[in-house]
Amino acid sequence: MIYLDNAATTRTAPEVVEAMLPYFTEYYGNAGSIYGLGSASKKAVIQAKQTIARSLGAEPNEIYFTAGGTESDNWALKAVFETYQDKGKHIITSRIEHHAVLHTCEYLERQGAEVTYLDVDEDGIVDIEQLRRAIRPDTILVSIMYANNEIGTLQPIREIGEIAEEHGVLFHTDAVQAYGQLPIDVAGCHIDMLSASGHKLNGPKGVGFLYMSKKARLRSFVHGGQQERGRRAGTENVPGIVGLDAAVKRALQKMEEKTYKVTRLRDYLISRIEQEIPQVKLNGHRSMRLPGNVNFSFAKAEGESMLIMLDMKGICASSGSACTTGSIDPSHVLLAIGLSPELARGSLRMTLSEDNTMEEVDIVVEELAEIVGKIRNMCI
């Protein structure tokens, strides 16, 4: 099997699983209990907050554990809307956000929010001038993703943060794809809230965090006990949090080496496809993109057919994002960068990890060339 769907999820690293195991069977105490067993769990939670805070240039008490990226996005948006109603109800986001942000914005619109969806250029970069013009006295939040999950484009986060800061507007970024892949400095980029998820960086599924600066001071999201300073109640997922801690440490330690290796694989895959398969279009920015992201549109070839035929050859990829698979609507991201619905439907996303090899890329290009040829012949 050749796994090229690391933007959908990653393999939990063996050292992460190993770090987690004792917290199921040995140190199973409730982090809120006062006896020794509970304090082992509590210590692990505090330790994980320190690791994550250090990775962002934040403070441990600005990190809140959640069940993943979706919950973190929901929390940031809904809580800002609730908390800042007296200032206004205007939110600015982009057309290419993950559904965890877009569908939350739609929900908030039904609650009375006014949402401006910024356009992006043909590479998927948000229109900065449009952002400046969109900010109003009643704007309470700018939410722009760090890196796009479909086309890999990185946003000018520092510039966006500076603009938000200048206008006294909170800035949230969905960094689920970027965290653990790229260095992130929340203070330098004026980020007030940041979402991340364990399973996108070789950690376990069902755990993530929301960074919330002291300045943001959002309301609680889940009501109940006093966990997470009363803002997100519920017994802590200690094994998951320990796994996230281990995954973050691992990602930081390997970042440089991994970026180098994965970027080389990416650029090799891109250049071979462009040279060997006619009528293709690379989606996303050529250099301002995630190290492991490759996204192409193939004229006169349909994404779902390519996926099924690749699967028969043992190759796992994606068309659009995992969340849009199964629906026939072309991806909102590809439409936003100006693709026709036909070209958007003919897209294929291949997301690499450091476990992939040049030999695998060679196999993928050969199989893909054959598959695209077959599909195009069937169409005629």
Ligand X SMILES: *Cc1c(COP(=O)(O)O)cnc(C)c1O
**Cβ-based nearer residue to ligand X, 96 or 277:** 96
**Cβ-based nearer residue to ligand X, 4 or 301:** 4
In the shown chain, the binding pattern of residues 111 to 140 toward ligand X, with x for contact by CB under 6 A and - for none, equals: ------------------------------
Asked if residue 197 binds ligand X (CB under 6 A), the reply is: yes
**Binding segment for ligand X among 12-20, 43-51, 170-178, 268-276 (CB under 6 A)?**
170-178
Q: State the amino acid at position 143 in one-letter form.
A: S
Closest CA to 325 of 149, 181, 191, 163: 149
Tell me how far apart the alpha carbons of residues 258 and 354 are, in angstroms, rounded to a whole number: 6
Asked if residue 330 binds ligand X (CB under 6 A), the reply is: no
Which residue from 4, 31, 176, 189 is in contact with ligand X, where contact means CB under 6 A?
176
Closest CA to 336 of 125, 102, 128: 125
Asked if residue 100 binds ligand X (CB under 6 A), the reply is: yes
Closest CA to 348 of 273, 286, 290: 273
**Cβ-based nearer residue to ligand X, 262 or 368:** 262
Element (H, E) at 73: helix 69-83
**Cβ-based nearer residue to ligand X, 173 or 305:** 173
The phi and psi torsions of 66 (rounded to 5 degrees) equal -135, -175
The one catalytic residue among 105, 189, 323, 379:
323
E-strand ranges in the chain read 2-3, 63-66, 90-94, 114-118, 139-143, 170-174, 193-197, 208-212, 280-282, 293-298, 315-316, 347-351
In the shown chain, the binding pattern of residues 52 to 91 toward ligand X, with x for contact by CB under 6 A and - for none, equals: ----------------xxx--x------------------
Which residue from 74, 149, 213, 295 is in contact with ligand X, where contact means CB under 6 A?
149
Asked if residue 319 binds ligand X (CB under 6 A), the reply is: no
For residue 38, the minimal CB distance to ligand X (Å) is 27
Q: Do residues 207 and 218 make contact, with C-beta atoms less than 8 angstroms apart?
A: no
Asked if residue 98 binds ligand X (CB under 6 A), the reply is: yes
Tell me how far apart the alpha carbons of residues 14 and 250 are, in angstroms, rounded to a whole number: 11
Structure tokens at 31: 């982090």
For residue 316, the minimal CB distance to ligand X (Å) is 16
Which residue from 53, 80, 145, 210 is in contact with ligand X, where contact means CB under 6 A?
145
Catalytic-residue membership of 323: yes
**Binding segment for ligand X among 123-131, 173-181, 259-267, 324-332 (CB under 6 A)?**
173-181
Tell me how far apart the alpha carbons of residues 343 and 296 are, in angstroms, rounded to a whole number: 9
**Cβ-based nearer residue to ligand X, 89 or 200:** 200
**Residue with tokens 């891109």, as numbered in its chain:** 270
What distances in angstroms separate CA 144 from CA 193, 214, 370, one per listed residue?
11, 20, 38
What residue ranges bind ligand X (CB under 6 A)?
68-70, 73, 98, 100, 145, 149, 174, 176-177, 197, 199-200, 208
| Residues marked as catalytic | 323
